[in-house]
Structure 1
Amino acid sequence: MTFRILLSLLFLNCISSVNAQEPNSPVDLVYPYVDSSNSRWFFFNSANRPFGMVNLSPDTDIDGAWGSGYRYQSDTIKGFSHIHAWQLSGLSVLPLVNFDLESSKDFGSPFSHANEIVKPGYHQVYLDRYGVKAELTSTLRTGFHRYHFTETGQQQILIRLGGKLGPSQLIDGSITQISPTTYLGTLVNGATSRRPFDTPVFFAIQLNRAVQSHIGWNAKEVSADLEQIKGPDSGLILSFDDRSDELLMKVGISYVSAEQALLNLETENSHWDFDQVKEASFTEWNNYLSRIQVSGGTEKAQRRFYTDLWHALQGRRTISDVNGQYADMTSGKHRIKQIPLDASGKPKFRHFNSDSFWGAQWTLNTLWHLVYPEITEEFVNSMLQYYQDGGLIPRGPSGGNYTYVMTGASSTPFIVSAYQKGIKGFDIEMAYEGLKKNHRPGGIMEKAGYEHKTNLGGGFQYYLKNGYVPWPIPEGRFGAHQDGPSLTLEYAYQDWTLAQLAKALGDQAAYKEFYQRSFNYKNTFDPETGWMRPRNVSGAWKTPFDPYDYNAGFNEANGSQATWFVPHDLEGLAALMGGKDQAIQRLNESFEQAEKQGFTSGTSHSQEAHPEYRRIPINYGNQPSIQTAFIFQKLGRPDLTHYWTRAIVNKVYAELSPDSGYNGDEDQGLMGSLAVLMKIGLFQMNGGTEANPSYQLGSPIFDEVLIHLHPNYYPGKEFTIRTLHNSPNSFYVKSGVFNEQPLKELELTHQEIIQGGTLVLEMSEKAN
């Protein structure tokens, strides 16, 4: 065992021992129902592991990526699906009793939340129609089911092979029985407007009791061994004898082959002890969640904090198998590839599905890189694997496909920030090569959202030639989010981050190229109105212009919200507005107006385009303006940062309710991460992309925050934030002391934090 591995094991054991002493572990504090009335396919999670390939949970709604999956207000369960991922679904099953396929295809069952238990790693629910208590848990790549039949009758399990399931149409499928208790099969997720290629998912099913009989429906062909069951809405029903009222089922998933799915199953879950897997899942979640320990504040605040942290580790899914095999779909063909192995024959990293890192510069960059650096390192290596396979570092892959979700080169700040923070377990030369390619003609930056076959939608040629992206793009529409001012602002910031990496690597020519481009944001600022404003290819400003008009040249935002997207040069932005005082006054007025609407465009992402809600000047329900409260601090008014961050936390990220919680677009951990950072008082305006990045210190809501630093990456053992005289009304930071040395400014560098120590913040009801 290497010293590096030993340190890692000691680190996790230390966290586990802390958990054992706590009366309420983080797993017990998490509230999985939060915002589930507004759920989308990949939002709700229960029986899964961190970044699990399998994320097993009930589905009440199955038609579409939005308004689907587990929805709290829906009253009927239509299946238990094993994949709830970005643009992917798969293998829905459901236990039945006495179901007659000839008389009905309506197999859903009513249920009650009163007979339900949901925790990270576990879901229990009672199916009223069939009298079945269903329990679900999982390993990383396998699902584990335990069914208790409380009524007599024919015990059955439904397996769906086709039909609409969340974001995908399952266009094909097959299943083969290889023993009385084992089945292997395939599902095919049909291409979508976002994921361009048909994507297969493979599965292996093992049961602890022999199947008595099976019957398929909507099959084009049915042979004795079930080889060709397929169709637009096909499936299979397995039947069992009733000699036992308990039935166990294990399901392995793979994107490579059914044989690989069986390997995942036999490697990760070789026994039939359901409770052992459930407890192992609780332990793993506790290990992750206990990396940050909070004390003080209300019980509700602590419960919500760990719910946020749990969400920060959700949504982005493993797609490689236990032996490191994975499916490369970047060309449209299903090609089986291999993750490099270490000296012991284990894969060096995992491969991942992932929604875009759009907005991650203010969320995941800070949280993951500091608290979960090993996860950051795996994700960077996964991005570089896509680069080797398909020629581009991705911004949101799905099942091995490029999706070109959202805009720009959002992976650049993520990778640059990792390198600047000393996370270097990846090929930096390859990464730099790929990032430069993304920022030049032929790269991913010039593609608009979901622009699969062309490269004109991002208006990149105009950005290089004229210094801004026009609106509209003269050539027409080729994808989504072709919003000139937003693209200009995003490209400029991302260019600045790449310039920082070029500087760190000693590439002065590239540093000059990207640094100069980073000031292109000025070309979309209209001095007459004082807002970022669309202009056409001839340079004429959009007329008439309304800074509160939503999606009129601004990506999922309005002009007021987008104007502040200059995280790399806020002093330059302030100068354009007439100076810091004028900029602060305008931003404060925007917050005062936004407060009247609760700081968000309604209480869910679906309300963002509402004629009234969309006119909000600052929106903490979506990514484009979630940095704005910390702009005050960068412009010399930390007191306003403290005031408004507390107000936002209390209004937007405090509830424990199925009907609210993120009040917008919780894209696979982005808003959960933001909530965590605001509550512990750490933020990075430019995404932590400069050399030895700085952290802005906010207003922690807890008496103490203890962060366990990973010993394989950082030399310090713990970093502690302690507050004095903290209360709901004492949210201003009067003074700060770090390791007994007074702070001149409310900032710490990354190097200071990772050396370990204690930050003491004295709180006050009055601003300094």
Structure 2
Amino acid sequence: MDKRKLYLQVIIYLTLGTISSCQQKVKTVDKHGEQKTYSELVYPLLDSENSRWFFFSSASRPFGMVNLSPDTEIDGAWGSGYRYKTDTIRGFSHIHAWQMSGISVMPVTVSAANESTIFEDFYSKFSHETERISPGYHYVDLDRFKIASELTSTTRVGLHQYTYPEDSQSAILFNLNTMLGPCENMDGELTQNSDNELSGKVVMDATHRRPKPFTVYFKVLLNTDVTSVKKDDKTGNYLIKLDDPRKKVLMKVGVSYTSVENAGLNIEEEMPHWDFDKVVRESTEEWNGLLGRIKVEGGTATDQRRFYTDLWHSLQGRRIINDVNGAYPDNTGEVFRIGQLPLDSNGKPEFNHFNSDSYWGAQWTINTLWGLVYPEIKQQFVYSLLQYQKDGGLVPRGPSGGNYTYVMTGASSTPFIVSAIQEGLVTEDLESIYQILKKNHMIGGIMEKAGYEHHTNYGGGLKYYIENGYVPYPIPEGKFGGHQDGAGLTMEYAYQDWTLAQLAKKLGHEADYGYFIKRSENFKNVYDETTGWMRPKNVEGEWLEKFDPYQYKVGFVEANAAQATWFVPHNLEGLAELMGGRDKAVQQLNGQFEEASKLDFTAGTSHDLEEHPEYRKIPINYGNQPSIQTAFVFHQIGRPDLTQYWSRNVVRETFSGLSPSTGYNGDEDQGLMGSLAVMMKIGLFQMNGGVDEDPVYQIGSPLFDKISIDLNPDFYSNATFTIEADNNSEENVYVKSAKWNNEVLEGYVIHNSQITKGGRLVLQMADQ
């Protein structure tokens, strides 16, 4: 054990502590003068007591096809894989993605005493005391087998390093047929190709959300010989025994969703060597390069660690599904096919293709962060969405397994794509893009489908929205998809129609612009002036009886009426007018924040607690997407000071601290909450999703004294955008004045065209 600890300390020093002269910029300094690299500041265990299958990451690259990490649960709550309080490892699996899982392996030692039971009795205790985790690396001791296990990866290849005890028979279990996270793994096959090479495949069974089975192929290379491969008749799983157990065993696992051959090609291109430490170093450098685009000064050491953990999560969850040669799985048609992404002059894919949860709520999160800091990433995701349309006919809102899932509701990809166009990230074929986005907003488009409605088109109630100006609750045709909550759907469609109208206007489609602008006013049809809330109504136009604005998921998608009423990001002035004016709107929302503060602005610490009687009546919930914009509503209705006050309070109570027990309250949803926390902490927000002709940022209350953002010169100027919060403190949360490049900035807003040229925003902070 002492030797392993010493070895681990050396690895950590080499991979995380050594910074060459060309990497001096990947440092940050807290108030105590301590310098750390950005990846060292990340706390991967955040919220890991409540994690979902795709949430926890360790040995992974940004958006990596491979997300290699230990699984302490294989069929747990919310399909979780790694839960901090579970002290037993059940395998190391390579795929933790939205509705996808696969290739679970477990290093073991075999003896006469356990060889007959090892296929079913292989779990091992472990201790967090010896566990070490950093972006791109995971170390854990398997106490039962006395095996030191280390994990790292490239984008498409997992790399394992196992140190077995001396005088033991080293072996590895391939648990290819098992329940793993969100789906059953079945029809697993493993074939030995040579002394140190194996290959195989696993089928991920269809789920309620992902309607078709999906196959993952893999190739395995080891630095030692395989002496035997045994298949267990009962479990269908495989045990491989290894030669020469005294040396460290290295194992590469290349993954592909198209073929074994491409899995091998991914290994050849991304990991042609056997240098484990090099892969860890390169992973650290890649993470530092992305995390280091935002540099913060000031705040506490915990503030800085939490900030870079939030930023790290914003680059997680949504996973690459194409091979290095651009081959990708297309499951949108009747028959599975292998598609081919366009290649650049070097024979590399022009963009990556992705598996992704919904863009529901992205208008306030990754829309803004990716557009500002990672424009090349946002551009790739837009092109990926458009590739799905070319294959399947519709722009998806959350694809998985190369296919549509119809996760959540509406046309949430519309504001994401329109904002990328308005930011200048997508400049070609705008007319065709407009036409395919428009299709989603009409009969036959994705708005017709409620959550996971694969085979019908009734649940979204779009025909009623078009004909009557609102979606009724309940839908007269009956129950089809999930989330058939008419008032909430009406409000969501109205906002998304407004975003599409901005693109119509840009392209000169005056009639379409007028049509969608008119539809964007439909939110007014579900506002009940007698109660002061949005309220469901049935198909006859009658208000829901026994209405309770704090009743959860009755006419509103994952929300109550109090939370959802403020979902009018495109016309908050119009909402305030319905409420009797700005003052009354401010008074109502401020009261909601005061009440929500008693529960720290969240409905419990995990997504599955939202329906608990104690939490479901909370009037503002920063643990889920529907009301995460509300602190910035004040800004839009004339009270930026209340935006500054409440946004800083939400940051302090909801998005601060480092603990396995909390962090995002169990519903991080692939970067959405991490991105939200980042934007609130740097004091910028885009209420309407950044779809103006020149997108507008509302200024909030920065947590840090100085924030510097390196702008990507391939898209913006080769300059730095800096925010300085003078006289900033925990008490001084109010912005008393703002200057942009030494000129007074009016209205506490700044435009995208200003920021992307680079410059200096100076905010004078005060306590009132």
Alignment TM class, shorter chain as reference:
over 0.9
Q: How does 1:32-71 map to 2 (within 5 A)?
A: 32-63=44-75, 66-71=78-83
- In percent, how many aligned pairs have the same letter? 60
Give the residue type in structure 2 aligned to 1:103.
T
Residue 89 (1) aligns with residue 101 (2): yes
Q: How does 1:129-140 map to 2 (within 5 A)?
A: 129-140=144-155
- 1:102 paired residue number: 116
Give the residue type in structure 2 aligned to 1:85.
A
- 1:556 paired residue number: 558
Q: 2:168·2:245 contact (CA, 8 Å) conserved in 1?
A: no
The CA distance in 1 between the partners of 2:450 and 2:233, in whole Å, is: 39
Cα deviation code 1:37-56 (max 9, x no counterpart): 00110000000000000000
- 1:646 paired residue number: 648
Which of 169, 172, 176 aligns to 1:161? It is: 176
The CA distance in 1 between the partners of 2:199 and 2:448, in whole Å, is: 42
Q: 1:190·1:199 contact (CA, 8 Å) conserved in 2?
A: yes
Residue 474 (1) aligns with residue 504 (2): no
- 1:590 paired residue number: 592
The CA distance in 2 between the partners of 1:74 and 1:745, in whole Å, is: 50
Give the residue type in structure 1 aligned to 2:704.
F
Residue 198 (1) aligns with residue 213 (2): yes
Q: How does 1:668-687 map to 2 (within 5 A)?
A: 668-687=670-689
Q: 2:47·2:666 contact (CA, 8 Å) conserved in 1?
A: no
Cα RMSD (Å) of the superposition? Answer: 1.3
1:15 offset after TM fit, Å?
A: 8.5
Q: 1:47·1:57 contact (CA, 8 Å) conserved in 2?
A: yes
Residue 431 (1) aligns with residue 424 (2): no
Question: Structure 1 residues 242, 416: closer, same or farther in 2, change over 3 A?
Answer: same
Residue 400 (1) aligns with residue 412 (2): no
Which of 153, 156, 159 aligns to 1:144? It is: 159
Q: 2:341·2:351 contact (CA, 8 Å) conserved in 1?
A: yes
Question: Structure 1 residues 364, 21: closer, same or farther in 2, change over 3 A?
Answer: closer
Cα deviation code 1:663-682 (max 9, x no counterpart): 24110000000000000000
Residue 18 (1) aligns with residue 25 (2): yes
1:241 offset after TM fit, Å?
A: 2.8
Task: Report the more deviating stretch, 104-113 or 292-301.
Answer: 104-113
Residue 539 (1) aligns with residue 541 (2): yes
Q: 1:58·1:77 contact (CA, 8 Å) conserved in 2?
A: yes
Normalising by the residue count of structure 2, what TM-score does the alignment of the two structures yield? 0.95
Question: Structure 1 residues 300, 367: closer, same or farther in 2, change over 3 A?
Answer: same
Residue 126 (1) aligns with residue 126 (2): no
Q: Say which SS state the counterpart of residue 674 (structure 2) adopts.
A: helix
Give the residue type in structure 2 aligned to 1:93.
V
- 2:16 paired residue number: none
Question: Structure 1 residues 753, 544: closer, same or farther in 2, change over 3 A?
Answer: same
Which of 490, 496, 499 aligns to 2:498? It is: 496
Give the residue type in structure 1 aligned to 2:322.
S
1:518 offset after TM fit, Å?
A: 0.2
Which of 447, 450, 467 aligns to 1:448? It is: 450
Residue 187 (1) aligns with residue 202 (2): yes
The CA distance in 2 between the partners of 1:325 and 1:103, in whole Å, is: 40
Task: Report the more deviating stretch, 92-101 or 694-703.
Answer: 92-101
Question: Structure 1 residues 74, 501: closer, same or farther in 2, change over 3 A?
Answer: same
- 2:263 paired residue number: 261
Q: Give the unaligned 5+ runs of structure 1.
A: 1-12, 220-232
The CA distance in 2 between the partners of 1:97 and 1:436, in whole Å, is: 59
Cα deviation code 1:287-344 (max 9, x no counterpart): 0000100011100000000000000000000000000000100125320110011222
Q: Say which SS state the counterpart of residue 538 (structure 2) adopts.
A: coil
Q: 1:600·1:664 contact (CA, 8 Å) conserved in 2?
A: no
The CA distance in 1 between the partners of 2:91 and 2:435, in whole Å, is: 45
The CA distance in 2 between the partners of 1:243 and 1:187, in whole Å, is: 28
Q: Say which SS state the counterpart of residue 51 (structure 1) adopts.
A: coil
- 2:572 paired residue number: 570
- 2:467 paired residue number: 465
Aligned pair count reads: 741
Cα deviation code 1:503-548 (max 9, x no counterpart): 0111112111111100000001011101000100000000010000
Q: Say which SS state the counterpart of residue 511 (structure 1) adopts.
A: helix
Q: How does 1:330-479 map to 2 (within 5 A)?
A: 330-424=332-426, 427-479=429-481
Q: 1:15·1:290 contact (CA, 8 Å) conserved in 2?
A: no
The CA distance in 2 between the partners of 1:14 and 1:481, in whole Å, is: 53
- 2:7 paired residue number: none
Q: Say which SS state the counterpart of residue 691 (structure 2) adopts.
A: coil
Normalising by the residue count of structure 1, what TM-score does the alignment of the two structures yield? 0.95
1:240 offset after TM fit, Å?
A: 1.4
1:597 offset after TM fit, Å?
A: 1.0
Q: 1:384·1:430 contact (CA, 8 Å) conserved in 2?
A: no
Q: Say which SS state the counterpart of residue 94 (structure 1) adopts.
A: strand
Q: Say which SS state the counterpart of residue 494 (structure 2) adopts.
A: helix
Give the residue type in structure 1 aligned to 2:161.
R
The CA distance in 1 between the partners of 2:539 and 2:187, in whole Å, is: 46
